[in-house]
Amino acid sequence: MRTTGGKTMLRLHKLVKRFGSVVAVDDLSLEARSGEVLGFLGPNGAGKTTTISMVSGLLRPDTGHVELDEGEPPERPESRRKIGVAPQALAIYDDLTAEENLRFFGKLALADAGRLRARVDWCLDFVLLTDRRKDYVKTFSGGMKRRLNLAVALVHDPPLLLLDEPTAGVDPQSRNVIFEKILDLKTSGRTIVYTTHYMEEAERLCDRVGIIDHGRLLAIDKVDRLIDAHGGKSVVTAVRQDSEERIESSDPIAEVVKLQGAGDILSLRIDRPNLERVFLNLTGRELRD
Amino acid sequence: MMRRVLALAGKDVRLLVRDKGGTFVTFAFPFIYAVFFGLIFASRSGTASKIGIDVVDEDQTVQSAAFVDKLANADEFDVTQATRKDANDDVRRGRKVAYVIVTRGFGEAAGGIFFNKRPKLEVGIDPARQAETAMFQGILTKYMFEMITSTFTDTAAMTSQIDQAKKLVAADKSLGPIRRTMFDRFFNELDRFTTELKQNEPAESGGDAIPEDKENGETAETESRAGWQPMDIETTDVAREHTGPKNPYEFSFPQGIIWGVLGCCASFGISLVTERTSGTLARLRVAPIGRVQILGGKAAACFASTLILATVMMFVGRFAFGVHPGSWWHLGVSLTCIAVAFVGIMMFLSTLGRTERTVSGVSWAVLLGMAMLGGGMVPQFYMPPWMQALGDVSPVKWAILAMEGAIWRGFSTSEMLLPWAVLAGFGLVFFAIGVRGFSWTHEG
């Protein structure tokens, strides 16, 4: 599964991970290139977080291997300097301030005090927390903690970001801020691996989306190509006085024009195929199941 | 590498200080403990408890036995009969406050109250207790007076004394006729008085009581003691070897430090589990550092906190409570070994459960067990011998011994080696078990 673009920043080769009799990740192979946002879309328990854990070196695959950048394994501490992880759980210290959190995690990767200071300032500014830098994290809202969680992943300026459901449990306003920041990061050339079970997020942010369920990568491609390949046809729904008609069509506009000529139509609606439909068609169940 | 370990340790110390509960258990409680128990011990030592003394009866006469008996029944003394050598040893080692030797000739002198002979006592007392020496001599004098008083009221003994005196006056050629007549008249009058006393004895139960001078509110007995000493007391300074704590705080501060160390140990053990359950441990693991550095940082934080706590407590103890370590360098090594031991135990405790709640409960159960057996709650010398022996398995016992050895037990370096080695051994073994058993993921 290759994509065109910058150099390969991440390569997963036939990854398998089992927990007892449960196969969490099953024969997963893919690549991600620099400047790309690669999404993993799947329900809870699909294997997204397990994959992220193997990529970040937290878990060893039972078989297969992970390569970072120039083929480095993530188990090597120095290789992990290239990775920034924003885990699904808020992995920050409540009894430290925002600045102290960033400074502490930054120190683990950056030796130069001046650079560290500059990165801390940049991160606080990037996630809009500069005015709260001296406040304890325990006083923050959920959205602010999420933003700080993201900032900690960025503090050592890694080229590869692993964002595991970074908008879980935040309000729409904070979610929009995070979306904007991720798009900014993408523009700056970073490779982002983004897991979500929200179709809208995947469609809005990701260059390519991998549909994952029961540990298997069912499909991976650009969103429109996935929809073309697995979403089926558009559905035109025509509502009449006493009935409703649903017509599947690969050219819904032509169908609408045709139906308008019939004269007794009260309303017309076009349902284009989306990732939800892709997931339904690939797995036989809805994404939210 | 050290920069990262220090960053990890600094973060942990900062988190510990910001946790109010942890700060109290680790830093405030040990002070409260040390001062509270120091005050209790101090007030106990200030009460009118009996003075422990050794008594040596070298005279072995009826009179000396009677005197020893008086001391043994005295409210002020807790008397042990001993040999001269043992008595000296006991005072020198601080086991007894003083000794009293009833010297040869005591009985004869006590019997010859009409002659120029006075019974002689040798008293040995720690010169550091000068303030008590005068009081001690006063108490001895009081009991000597009581013995002489009883001689006067013992009519048989008095008659014998008078007869002996009369014979001696008759035999003494150096006495002039006037003085001889005076002595004869005195002893005859005394003899008649004694005979009358003897005749009245059954009728008056309080016949031996000395009449009270109602006007002055004093007894004639009290008045008579003012100028005349019934015996000679020869006092010897016995320089005591300071094998006990010089004040109660030398005893309570090591125990207070132990409670602080236990608090550190529990706090850091639980914090390792908190890091695991909250996800920050996972974040540390994806940072460009190894597992050794992560655990090293935690160990360094626990080690530093333990040492800082113990050092601060010792300085406060030194300057505010008069705790004077016999050897500062012994104390330094002891505290280092204690920190090593309890860093290992901290690592071990973190393996005792998956959640903070479990680890917290089990940790305190383990630590309190160690404290109970090791003399952290009740001093070991209050325990029966079998329990004291069982205490050998508790690092707390060795930690207290290492501190006491440096502060007031006066251990030599070779004597200190055992507790140091045991503590370091505990640390290494527990750390190895802890590292091996530590679960890096919440799931296990």
Q: What is the pLDDT of residues A32-46, one digit of tens each?
A: 998 899 999 988 888
Instruction: Report the SS3 class of residue A3.
Output: coil
Distance from CA of B284 to the nearest CA of A (A): 8
- Asked whether the beta carbons of residue B289 and residue A96 sit closer than 8 angstroms, the reply is no
pLDDT at B88 over 60: yes
User: Residue B224: what pLDDT?
Assistant: 43
pLDDT average, residue stretch B81-93: 86
A contact set with B (CB within 8 A): 19, 53, 56-59, 77-81, 83, 85, 87, 89-93, 95-96, 100, 104-105, 107-109, 111, 152, 156
Which residues lie closer than 8 Å to B81 by C-beta, 6 or more apart?
B54, B55, B56, B57, B68
Does the model's pTM come out above 0.80? no
B285 to chain A: nearest residue by CA? A58
Q: Which of B8, B286, B443 lies closest to A85 in CB terms?
A: B286
| Distance from the Cα of residue A286 to its chain's centroid | 19
User: Residue B53: what pLDDT?
Assistant: 87
pLDDT at B184 over 70: yes
User: Residue A148: what pLDDT?
Assistant: 95
- Asked whether the beta carbons of residue B287 and residue A90 sit closer than 8 angstroms, the reply is no
Q: Which residues of chain B have a CB within 8 Å of the CB of A80? A: 286-288
Q: Mind giving me the DSSP string for B67-130?
A: HHHHHHT-SSEEEEE--HHHHHHHHHTTSSSEEEEE-TTHHHHHH-TTTT---EEEEEE-GGGH
pLDDT average, residue stretch B267-283: 92
Looking at chain B, the whole-number percentage of residues with pLDDT higher than 90 is 31
Which residues lie closer than 8 Å to B336 by C-beta, 6 or more apart?
B307
> Maximum distance among all alpha carbons in chain A?
74
User: Residue B167: what pLDDT?
Assistant: 77
List the 130-169 stretch of B: residues with Cβ below 8 A of A: none
Distance, CA of B265 to CA of B427 (rounded, Å): 12
Distance, CA of B360 to CA of B21 (rounded, Å): 13
Q: Which residues of chain A have a CB within 8 Å of the CB of B19? A: 95
pLDDT at A249 over 60: yes
- Asked whether the beta carbons of residue A89 and residue B14 sit closer than 8 angstroms, the reply is no
pLDDT digits (tens, 9 = 90+) for B17-28: 888 777 787 778
Q: What mean pLDDT, rounded, does chain A reach?
A: 89
Q: Which residues of chain A have a CB within 8 Å of the CB of B288? A: 77-81, 108-109, 156
Looking at chain B, the whole-number percentage of residues with pLDDT higher than 70 is 80
User: Residue A123: what pLDDT?
Assistant: 95
pLDDT average, residue stretch B39-43: 69
Q: Which residues of chain B have a CB within 8 Å of the CB of A108? A: 4, 7-8, 284, 287-289
pLDDT digits (tens, 9 = 90+) for A75-110: 888 888 899 999 988 999 999 999 999 999 999 998
B440 to chain A: nearest residue by CA? A58
**DSSP code of B145?**
H
Cβ contacts below 8 Å, chain A against chain B, sum to 70
pLDDT digits (tens, 9 = 90+) for B135-182: 777 788 878 777 776 666 667 767 777 777 777 777 777 777 777 787
Distance, CA of B284 to CA of B286 (rounded, Å): 5
Least confident of B116-120, B240-244, B274-278: B240-244
- Asked whether the beta carbons of residue A80 and residue B288 sit closer than 8 angstroms, the reply is yes
- Asked whether the beta carbons of residue B283 and residue A85 sit closer than 8 angstroms, the reply is yes
pLDDT digits (tens, 9 = 90+) for A156-188: 999 999 999 988 888 888 888 889 989 999 888
User: Residue B39: what pLDDT?
Assistant: 76
Distance from CA of B405 to the nearest CA of A (A): 40
- Asked whether the beta carbons of residue A83 and residue B290 sit closer than 8 angstroms, the reply is no
pLDDT average, residue stretch A56-85: 88
Distance, CA of A84 to CA of A56 (rounded, Å): 8
Q: Which residues of chain B have a CB within 8 Å of the CB of A96? A: 11, 14-15, 18
User: Residue B379: what pLDDT?
Assistant: 74
Sign of the C-alpha dihedral, residues B165, B169, B170, B173?
Answer: positive
| More confident call, B226 vs A28 | A28
Least confident of A128-137, A233-242, B238-247: B238-247
Pick from A85, A104, A112, A150 the residue to mutate for testing the B interface (most B CBs within 10 Å): A104
Q: Which residues of chain A have a CB within 8 Å of the CB of B287? A: 77, 80, 105, 108-109
| Length of chain A as a residue count | 289
User: Residue B215: what pLDDT?
Assistant: 45
Q: What mean pLDDT, rounded, does chain B reach?
A: 81
